[in-house]
Amino acid sequence: MSRDLVLEHITYVNGRTLLDDVCVTFPAGRVTALSGPSGSGKTTLLSIAGGLLEPTSGTAALAGQEMWTGSGDPLPEVAFVLQVYGLVPILSARENVSIALRARGIAPADADEAAEAALARFGIADLGERQVEELSGGQMQRVACARGFVVGAEVLLADEPTSELDEGNRGVVLAELREEAARGAVVVVATHDPAVVEACDLHIALDEGRVVR
């Protein structure tokens, strides 16, 4: 049984209408690109899909379970790669990844070991000890990817995860997104990069808060 993430009639109004009657299914085992110009509502839609934000109307649900839990705390099934990275500047790269696992109850030594492996997936194993605030934008983005991917979540929502990366590292992140889908995860990647869209299985496009394809 596939556990798809289903959004039905999602509307989000915050002064003005940012999302207007969005109906989409993000299937398990596939990488879905969510494209659209800046300001079209991609981040808002991912936030609702992952349970960070309550829709004004409509529902987002994983196999019938509502993503909005009433508090803005996402379900444990969900992992994010946030557009502004959401890293803790004074912690090391390894600690930033490790805390995602510790927060899920993994013992610190095991979490640290998995964090090292996740950094290696993105080619930054050598940066584990470095404080995040000393890293470049592209390096921080890869730490954020490692943190999102390390938990092996059922739903992985990545918000423009390759915007600061060169072509080689973009390819690494795309390959890892595909790997997550291959183990059955729902994977959604917001992007306005046509090369990223091309590498995904499915494509949903937003414009001014509406689905246009």
Ligand X SMILES: Nc1ncnc2c1ncn2[C@@H]1O[C@H](COP(=O)(O)OP(=O)(O)O)[C@@H](O)[C@H]1O
CB nearer to ligand X: pick between 48 and 140? 48
**Choices 39-47, 63-71, 101-109, 132-140; region in contact with Mg ion by CB under 5 A:** 39-47
Question: At closest approach, how far in Å is the CB of 30 from ligand X?
Answer: 21
Closest residue to Mg ion: CB criterion = 43
CB atoms within 10 A of CB 192: 16
76 contact choice in ligand X, Mg ion, none (CB below 5 to 8 Å, kind-dependent): none
Give yes or no for residue 98 binding Mg ion (CB under 5 A).
Answer: no
69 contact choice in ligand X, Mg ion, none (CB below 5 to 8 Å, kind-dependent): none
- Structure tokens belonging to residue 14: 């915050």
57-62/5-14 β-pairing: antiparallel
CB nearer to ligand X: pick between 44 and 139? 44
Contacts with 64 (C-beta within 8 Å, 6 or more apart), sequence order = none
Question: At closest approach, how far in Å is the CB of 42 from ligand X?
Answer: 3
- Structure tokens belonging to residue 47: 């936030």
Return the closest-CA partner of residue 96 out of 66, 131, 120. Answer: 131
Question: At closest approach, how far in Å is the CB of 14 from ligand X?
Answer: 4
- Which of 35, 43, 169, 191: binder of Mg ion (CB under 5 A)? 43
Given the structure tokens 């990366």, which residue do they identify?
165
55 contact choice in Mg ion, ligand X, none (CB below 5 to 8 Å, kind-dependent): none
Strands of the 31-35 sheet, one edge to the other: 78-81, 155-159, 186-191, 31-35, 202-207, 210-211
CB nearer to ligand X: pick between 84 and 195? 84
Return the closest-CA partner of residue 110 out of 97, 121, 123. Answer: 97
CB atoms within 10 A of CB 147: 26
135 contact choice in ligand X, Mg ion, none (CB below 5 to 8 Å, kind-dependent): none
**Choices 37-45, 65-73, 177-185, 192-200; region in contact with Mg ion by CB under 5 A:** 37-45
- Which whole-number Å values give the CA distances from 198 to 27, 35, 87, in the listed order? 17, 11, 29
- Residues forming contacts to ligand X in the complex (CB under 6 A) are 14-15, 18, 36, 38-44
**Residue 65 host element (H or E):** strand 65-66
Largest separation between any pair of C-alpha atoms in the chain: 47
36 contact choice in Mg ion, ligand X, none (CB below 5 to 8 Å, kind-dependent): ligand X
Q: Which residues bind Mg ion (CB under 5 A)?
A: 42-43
